[in-house]
Amino acid sequence: MEMNPIEKITYEDAMKELEGIVNRLDAGDGTLEESIILFQRGIELTKLCSDKLEEIEMKIRIITEKGEEPFVAEG
Amino acid sequence: MNDVFSVSDLNRYVGEKLAADPLLSAVRVSGEISGLKLYPSGHFYFTLKDQDSQVSCVAFRKNAQCFPFLPENGISVIITARASLYDRDGRFQLIVYQLEKEGIGDIHADFERLKRRLASEGIFDADHKKMIPLLPQRIGVVTSPKGAVISDIIRVLSRRFPNFNLLIYPASVQGLSAAAEIRNGIAWFCEKKNVDVIIIARGGGSAEDLWCFNDETLARTIYHADIPVISAVGHETDYTICDFASDLRAPTPSSAAELVMPIKMQCVDHILSSRKQLSRSLLHFVTRKKNSLLSLSSSRAFLHPRLRVESEWQRLDRLSIRINDSMTHKLSWQRNYVSLFAGRLDALSPLKVLTRGYAIATDQNTGEPITTVNNIYANQKITLRLHDGEVFCRAMSQSEEGTNNGNESY
């Protein structure tokens, strides 16, 4: 099984791979050892996705001549 | 024909003639606006002129309200009007009920030409369009920092995903410098690589207002951008070259915000359900393996060894019976053999001979059989063994065979 290093995976790739893992487990081929590895990989991916949801920093900024500055919308 | 008309009658008559003329009831006239006056009633008065002539025009409020733009002195327009005569002044005038900018037809033709040319170059190709990331870590927006558009985007993003990250590149979205400013914004984001997706946003407006988004260079800048671009210009019905060149067209700026950021709660739910699904699938996998093991173990393939063991047992049993049988047979044969030999031994036994009247003589002292007369000495004690007992004797005389004298006395 080829696996990308988990820290380099984007959110959508992680979700896609996760779906693939569930499908493979459901297909039921492969050995028990393989399925356990797949399962562990899947759990890692769900954790990665959860982390990615939280790691986005809440920020609204605007480019000015001085660089980035906080932005407050009018009204 | 000698009738004399009053002025009023004449003007009314000419007015009726003009009104009855099919061509003059809806005539399109091109010219330049001048002497524009707006009255408090909401009616517009102006003169439409070309190089040589002019004609008075009036636009009543109910029609003027529907004009796509406000009339201005000096602009070339095409009006749709009906001809009439203003009774009081006897002045010929046009009652305007539609107003278009002249040259708009040419602009549309230009638009279609540009669109065809860019399409033939592959600028709008679906194959070239970049995927919009599912979860952008930072969103870039090129738009006016003033007005409802940016507020709408922020409001929609906040509702969907509370911790979003937005970077605004302020740009004019209308007027001569707009196209260049928007291009600069895209180029700036692409150079800095500090966002995952760029939204070009502008609220609704007239075709003229949105004209800067039909810029050829802007289309090429979007095409060559390394970062995916969402175009959100005007209303749902407005299409610009920018829309065609971008990776995704959003009907409005608000819907761009919806397209760019997922709903966080749905993401959380999806991840949770994926996790549950994983566990279920693994459990399912293991259960299926277990079941297939069970069915395998009850199948012939796995029963076979047991069958073999059983048949080996049977073979062993059969063998042991045979061994037993043959042993018994052998033993009985041996018994017969022994009794046979015993019979023969019996026949060879001297005791058997004795029954026929023979006797065995032994020296009483030594127990040695006496086989020759030469060893006999006088008064030797001899035991004669007969078949049914013994006789104790003493040697009195002996004679050797062939001497015939009968005896030798001691």
The answer for B 318-377 residues in CB contact with A (under 8 A) is none
Q: Measured between CA atoms, how close is B296 to chain A, in angstroms?
A: 16
| pLDDT, tens digit (0-9, with 9 covering 90-100), for B101-142 | 876 556 677 888 899 999 999 999 999 999 999 999 999 999
CA-CA distance, B106 to B111, in Å (whole number)? Answer: 9
Residue A1 resides in a domain: no
Distance (Å, whole) CA B111 – CA B239: 10
Window 150-209 of B: residues touching A by CB (8 A cutoff) are: 150-151, 154, 161-170, 188
Q: Would residue A36 count as lying in a domain?
A: yes
A39 belongs to a structural domain: yes
Nearest to A11 among B135, B161, B275 (CB): B135
Type and span of the H or E element at B168: strand B165-170
- Residue B174 clears pLDDT 50, i.e. is over it: yes
Q: Residue A32 is part of a domain; what is its CATH number?
A: 1.10.287
The answer as to whether A51 is a domain residue is yes
pLDDT band at residue B397 using 50, 70 and 90 as cut-offs: confident
Indicate left, alpha or beta for B241 from its phi (over 0: left) and psi (-120 to 50: alpha).
alpha
User: Do residue A11 and residue B264 have CB atoms under 8 angstroms apart?
Assistant: no
> Is residue A44 in some structural domain?
yes
Structural domain that includes position A54 = 6-65
Is A24 within the bounds of a domain?
A: yes
8 Å CB contact of A74 and B274: no
How far is residue A52 from each of residues A15, A20, A48, B127, B198, measured CA to CA in Å?
Answer: 12, 20, 6, 29, 20
Give a yes or no: residue A71 inside a domain. no
Tell me the pLDDT of chain B averaged across its residues.
85
Measured between beta carbons, the chain A residues lying within 8 angstroms of B150 are 73
**Does residue A70 lie in a domain region?**
no
Query: pLDDT value at position B327?
Result: 61
Number of domains in chain A: 1
**pLDDT of the residue at B410:** 57
DSSP string covering B296-319, please?
A: HHTSHHHHHHHHHHHHHHHHHHHH
Comparing CB atoms, the residue among A10, A49, A63 nearest residue B170 is A63
pLDDT recorded at residue B152: 95
CB within 8 Å: A35 and B286: yes
For residue A63, give the chain B residue with the closest CA: B169
B274 interaction partners in chain A (CB closer than 8 Å)? 15, 18-19, 22, 42, 46, 49
pTM value? 0.57
What is the ipTM score, two decimals?
0.89
The residues, ordered by sequence, that sit 6+ positions from B394 with a Cβ below 8 Å of its Cβ are B379, B380, B381, B382
Check CB contact of A22 with chain B, cutoff 8 Å. yes
B321-353 pLDDT tens trace: 766 666 666 566 566 655 555 555 555 555 666
What pLDDT score was predicted for residue B299? 64
**Closest to B154 (Cβ–Cβ): which among A32, A57, A73?**
A73
* Long-range contacts of residues A64-68, Cβ cutoff 8 Å, at least 24 apart: A64/B170, A68/B167
